[in-house]
Amino acid sequence: MIAFLRGILDEKQLTHIVLDVGGVGYEVLIPLSTYDTLPKVGSEYKCLIFEHIREDAHLLFGFSTEQERDFFKLLITVSGVGPKIAIGALGGMTIAELRAAIVAKDSKRISKLPGIGKKMAERIVVELCDKINPLEVYATDSTNSETTNNAMTQACNDAVLGLVQLGFNQDVAVKTVREIFENSDGDLSTGEIITKALAQR
């Protein structure tokens, strides 16, 4: 199996790239999140690969980070979710947003992603909610791991734990903290998040 390809970026489009590796052009399907990280055409580029082989096609799916590829692999374990649907989902939300939606069992939000209807969104929630640690839903992308973001991630995780200890249902605690996080300026302490959550109760 191909783990990665390193070569010259010969072409880049919103849905795919062509990577020249030793004179051979490999077409690689990518999510929008990967497209945003691509260098200029003509630059050297290393692309992480998921190889999908079936009777009528041999497809390569590419990612800029291990986190993207790992979550892609998790999505395609869901019944009815193929690689192309999974790659589209990664373009519609960040991994942090997808994790949060799944843990909060927000199938309505997930159903708005391209190629995913109501029933498929519900399957994604049912089949993946137990596979995602609710205390990791605010984990930042590996490409965006500045100290302030890590501190905010930890504050959110600690706030969820604190609210559960105060009697909140875990799903409600995660949803409440997510809403506070999304409506903040990204600079709240654990205590401030818990105070806001209690005020909303």
Q: What contacts 16, CB < 8 A, 6 or more positions away?
A: 27, 28, 29, 30
CA angle 196, 200, 201 (to 5 degrees): 120
Q: What would the pLDDT profile of 66-121 be if each residue is shown by its tens digit?
A: 999 999 999 999 999 999 999 989 888 888 888 888 988 889 999 988 889 999 99
H or E element in which residue 152 lies: helix 147-165
Question: In Å, what is the CA distance from 189 to each residue of 121, 148, 180, 184?
Answer: 33, 11, 12, 11
Q: What would the pLDDT profile of 124-148 be if each residue is shown by its tens digit?
A: 999 998 888 766 665 544 444 444 4
Domains of the chain, each with CATH number or no CATH: 4-64 (2.40.50.140), 66-132 (1.10.150.20), 135-201 (no CATH)
- The whole-number average pLDDT for the span 156-169 is 83
